[in-house]
Amino acid sequence: MSRQRVFTADKLREECGVFGISGNEDAAAHTALGLHALQHRGQEAAGIVSFDGRLFHSHRALGLVGDHFSNEAVIGALPGHAAIGHVRYSTAGAPLLRNVQPLFADFAFGGLALGHNGNLTNALVLRRQLVEQGCLFQSTSDTEVIIHLIARSRQPTVIERLIDALSQVQGAYALVALSADALYGVRDPLGIRPLVIGELDGAPILASETCALDIMGARFVRDVEPGEVVSATLSGIESIKPFAMPPRRFCIFEYVYFARPDSAVEGQSVYEVRKRIGAELAREAPAPADIVIPVPDSGVPAAIGYAQAANLPFELGLIRNHYVGRTFIEPSDRIRHLGVRLKHNANRSTVAGRRVVLVDDSIVRGTTSTKIVAMVRNAGATEVHMRVASPPTIHSCFYGVDTPERSQLLAAQNNLEAMARIIGVDSLGFLSLDGMYRAVGGAPRDAFQPQYCDACFSGDYPTLLEDFGHGGSADQLSLMLEER
């Protein structure tokens, strides 16, 4: 018997979401709610650290926020008016509790908790130097490098130490941090990962997306700017921009898949952008079909946009089973296509005898698409025209997204015709990179200085990749210790 990972098995996976609040007497409960709204950004572990004016309190657990942070005992053990929280995927191997964030350390100046969305691209190089100097690492997380850099900084204040540490790292980071004195939020100079500021009855909030504000009825204030360090203390919010300021490069894939459709990031409604992507796709890649059906749920907004632009009926041709967990037994070959069937079923009455446009947000390995197309055909569709609401994904991401090896990316290994054959469709169409920029709504792509990070489509990485350039890899970060 073998196990089959079924949940978002064939998607790129955002690795983290962060949340912080200060000046609210139910800080941990609100943080749990915010993390629940950000659950789509990381489903393997969650953690909250609160500060009660004297002590920090921490609870971290493998699993969903609702599994561990929805009962009174846990929330009651996280007292205080300020808290930060984190949801995460683990990048590799068994998820380990010691890697779950927020990380916490006792410094000479007191305690500091830190939650990080993104990924550093020189963590390995820095880690080697720090170990040489006598630093002891507890985790394999790149975030711990920041902790040690803060500990060894000779700067006098917490914020200056934080800036000192961050000035040494490369890569993507949206951070929330909590000290005895302040709640901090930072985005890297390129602004690759999102971070927004909100406010609830006077209490400042930081969150990866606006949906975490909506869940508690908080007001959206503004995005944290790229390279901005925000600190919220009793005397209000202060902002400084201590780093060099290159042009911004927000991750365009946040619009394609990562962010929730009801969020607005970098000033744009994700749902509306996705509908425009679908409309653009209908113009670029029309199809001779009777109905438009989405791969639920991520393909729905683009499919609605496609259907409206193409003036075709939008129908639920695939039904999703919402009770699906991560794994299920596949007892033998006698049970075929189990993985995808646990999550989806074709709606025979809708697709039988019809020519179908099947809309998905992206194609990674193509394995799920292949199974879904077969399922739709078995249910009687006469033609299947697949339309993908993003350009072909052909490069790895080093900024906090879990991408397969290039050898596993369908579009990195095959041309359009070969892909259509593998997936089994009558026709296949991707959105162009320019169409993508049009849908996002600003200027056409500037090839010398693209306005977004679109490296997964273009291979144009906006930062140095020190850890990855010389044959090194993050695997070398693993501890020598296997702990049960």
Per-residue string for binding with a second copy, 79-108, x by CB under 8 A?
A: -------------------------xxxxx
What Å distances lie between residue 6 and 331, 341, 405, 482, CA to CA? 15, 9, 19, 27
DSSP 429: E
Exactly one of 156, 235, 323, 471 binds a second copy (CB under 8 A); that residue is 323
Q: Which of residues 10-49 bind a second copy (CB under 8 A)?
A: 24-26, 29-30, 32-33, 36-37, 39-40, 43, 49
Exactly one of 225, 284, 290, 328 binds a second copy (CB under 8 A); that residue is 328
Residue 232 has which token pair? 């919220």
Residues in the chain: 484
Q: Which of residues 432-461 bind a second copy (CB under 8 A)?
A: none
Exactly one of 131, 240, 418, 464 binds a second copy (CB under 8 A); that residue is 131
Per-residue string for binding with a second copy, 337-376, x by CB under 8 A?
A: xx--xx--xxxxxx--------------------------
Q: Is 134 in the site for a second copy (CB under 8 A)?
A: yes
- CB 199 → a second copy: shortest distance, Å? 14
Asked if 200 and 27 count as a contact pair (C-beta separation under 8 A), the reply is: no
Q: Is 470 in the site for a second copy (CB under 8 A)?
A: no
Query: CA 299, CA 356: separation in Å to the nearest integer?
Result: 14
Q: Which of residues 252-311 bind a second copy (CB under 8 A)?
A: 260-262, 264, 269, 271-272, 297, 300-301, 304, 308
Q: Which CB atom, from 126 or from 456, has the smaller least distance to a second copy?
A: 126
Q: Which residues are CB-neighbours of 302 under 8 A, at least 6 positions away?
A: 274, 275, 277, 278, 281, 294, 359, 361, 389
Q: Which residues are CB-neighbours of 26 under 8 A, at least 6 positions away?
A: none
Exactly one of 9, 324, 394, 412 binds a second copy (CB under 8 A); that residue is 324
Q: Which stretch binds a second copy (CB under 8 A): 187-195, 251-259, 316-324, 444-452?
A: 316-324
Catalytic, 16? Answer yes
How far apart are the two ends of the chain, measured CA to CA in Å? Answer: 24
**What are the beta bridge partners of residue 402?**
13
Closest CA to 291 of 319, 274, 310, 271: 310
434 by DSSP, 3-state: which?
Answer: helix
Residue carrying structure tokens 């709504």: 441
Q: Which stretch binds a second copy (CB under 8 A): 215-223, 228-236, 392-400, 406-414?
A: 215-223
Beta strands in 212-255 (DSSP E): 219-223, 229-233, 236-240, 250-251
Q: Catalytic residue numbers?
A: 16
